[in-house]
């Protein structure tokens, strides 16, 4: 384990956005395992979520925590982009309408790209009709949708229904994820795959298109 992992976690928990880059760069320079750093940073974000649930912090603080995490992840991103150059397939990713959480989605994208997938990031708060429009235009092998709020989970189902109505559902595989989503729910709404975390999402994507 990287000896200063706890300092990195504390920098996120304490929202020290001006410190995180120095700490992560130091870890990189000391050949710390990027995956271990990411796992520790996710644990720190979970801690922030718990602090928010207990009213110990509020939305602005949660936001600064997210900015701090993003700065750290941006430094690790190039390390995850390994030697895979030939595309394993095209994936269009978004966070659904009403939802602006993007750290998890961005992490999934980083890992997919590192595994050799060509990923188009549609961003956050994507209305269903826009998602379908992009699927028609981009013709991906997989559509990946992320939802972090229980209130935005149904949007995933709306997109899947729209894909069916527009006659394009059978042309792509649909992969879903996000903290409130689970395998059973994913199956119920008609998704082809569910990724519990970014690493598993890569395996699911590979299985979905035999990549
Ligand atoms: Co929000 N937020 N937030 N938030 N936020 C949560 C999700 C919450 C659980 C916090 C809490 O109450 N404890 C709660 C949701 C409750 C619920 O619905 N059950 C919540 C709430 C309530 C809200 C607001 C409504 C608060 C308010 O305004 N009153 C508001 C909503 C805004 C909106 O979207 N409309 C809001 C706002 C925000 C910020 C903007 C401040 C910020 C987001 C900044 C950003 O993303 N750029 C924020 C944050 C940071 C969080 C927490 C603390 C952290 C989320 C995160 O980044 N986690 C979060 C609490 C928590 O999750 N513990 C919380 C780390 C990330 C790596 O994990 O996103 O789960 P995750 O992604 C994982 C997996 O889920 C999976 O792989 C990822 C990597 O392993 N995965 C996929 C994700 N997408 C996938 C897609 C796949 C496959 C796997 O395939 C396509």
3-state DSSP of 98-145: CCCCCHHHHHHHHHHHHCCCEEEECCCCECHHHHHHHHHHHCCCEEEE
- The predicted-structure confidence for 195-211, as pLDDT tens digits, reads as follows 999 999 999 999 999 98
pLDDT-based confidence at residue 93 (cuts at 50, 70, 90):
very high
Task: Write down the pTM of the prediction.
Answer: 0.95
Cα(101) to ligand 1 centroid in Å equals 5
- Provide the mean pLDDT of the chain: 96
Strand partners of residue 143: 92, 174
* Atom from ligand 1 closest to the CA of residue 99: 34
Residue 114 and residue 166 in contact, taking contact as beta carbons nearer than 8 Å: no
Cα(197) to ligand 1 centroid in Å equals 13
pLDDT at 114: 87
Rounded mean pLDDT, 56-72: 95
The residue nearest atom 45 of ligand 1, judged by CA position, is 101
Rounded mean pLDDT, 55-61: 96
Rounded mean pLDDT, 136-163: 98
CA angle (36, 118, 195) in 5-degree steps: 50
In whole angstroms, give the CA distance from residue 202 to residue 194: 10
Cα(48) to ligand 1 centroid in Å equals 10
pLDDT at 25 over 80: yes
Rounded mean pLDDT, 178-191: 98
Rounded mean pLDDT, 173-193: 98
**Ligand 1 cavity residues, CB under 6 Å:** 42, 45-46, 48-49, 52-53, 59, 62-63, 65-66, 98-105, 107-108, 144-146, 148-150, 175-180, 195, 197-198, 201
The residue nearest atom 50 of ligand 1, judged by CA position, is 66
Q: What would the two tokens of residue 80 be?
A: 């995850």
Region class of 116: left (phi > 0), else alpha (psi between -120 and 50), else beta: left
Cα(198) to ligand 1 centroid in Å equals 14
In whole angstroms, give the CA distance from residue 76 to residue 143: 25
Burial 87-126 (b: 16+ CB within 10 A, else e): ebbbbbbbbbbebebbbbbbbbbbbbbbbbbebebbebbb
pLDDT at 187: 98
Question: What domains appear along the chain, each with residue ranges and CATH number?
Answer: 5-82 (1.10.1240.10), 90-210 (3.40.50.280)
- The predicted-structure confidence for 72-88, as pLDDT tens digits, reads as follows 999 999 998 866 578 99
pLDDT at 171 over 70: yes
- The predicted-structure confidence for 100-139, as pLDDT tens digits, reads as follows 999 999 999 999 998 999 999 999 999 999 999 999 999 9
Cα(54) to ligand 1 centroid in Å equals 16
pLDDT at 43: 95
Q: What is the DSSP letter of 96?
A: B
pLDDT at 86: 82
* Atom from ligand 1 closest to the CA of residue 102: 46
pLDDT at 80: 87
Burial (Cβ within 10 Å: 0-12, 13-18, ≥19) of residue 163: buried
Strand, helix or coil at 88? coil
Nearest alpha carbon to residue 99 among 58, 156, 138, 45: 156
pLDDT-based confidence at residue 40 (cuts at 50, 70, 90):
very high
């Amino acid at each position: 384990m990287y000896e200063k992992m706890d300092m990195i976690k504390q920098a996120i928990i304490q929202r020290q956005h001006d410190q995180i880059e120095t700490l992560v760069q130091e870890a990189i320079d000391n050949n710390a395992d990027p995956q271990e750093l990411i796992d520790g940073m996710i644990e720190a974000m979970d801690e922030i979520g718990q602090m928010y649930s207990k009213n110990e912090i509020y939305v602005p603080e949660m936001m600064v925590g997210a900015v701090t995490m993003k700065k750290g992840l941006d430094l690790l991103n190039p390390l995850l982009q390994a030697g895979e150059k030939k595309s394993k397939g095209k994936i269009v990713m978004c966070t659904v309408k009403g939802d602006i959480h993007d750290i998890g989605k961005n992490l999934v994208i980083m890992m997919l790209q590192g595994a050799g997938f060509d990923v188009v990031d549609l961003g956050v708060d994507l209305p269903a009709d826009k998602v379908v429009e992009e699927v028609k235009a981009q013709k991906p092998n997989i559509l990946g949708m992320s939802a972090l709020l229980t209130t935005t989970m149904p949007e995933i189902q709306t997109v899947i229904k729209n894909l069916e109505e527009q006659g394009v559902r059978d042309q792509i595989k649909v992969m879903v994820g996000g903290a409130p989503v689970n395998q059973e729910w994913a199956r119920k709404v008609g998704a082809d795959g569910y990724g519990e975390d970014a690493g598993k999402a890569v395996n699911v994507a590979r299985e979905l298109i035999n990549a």
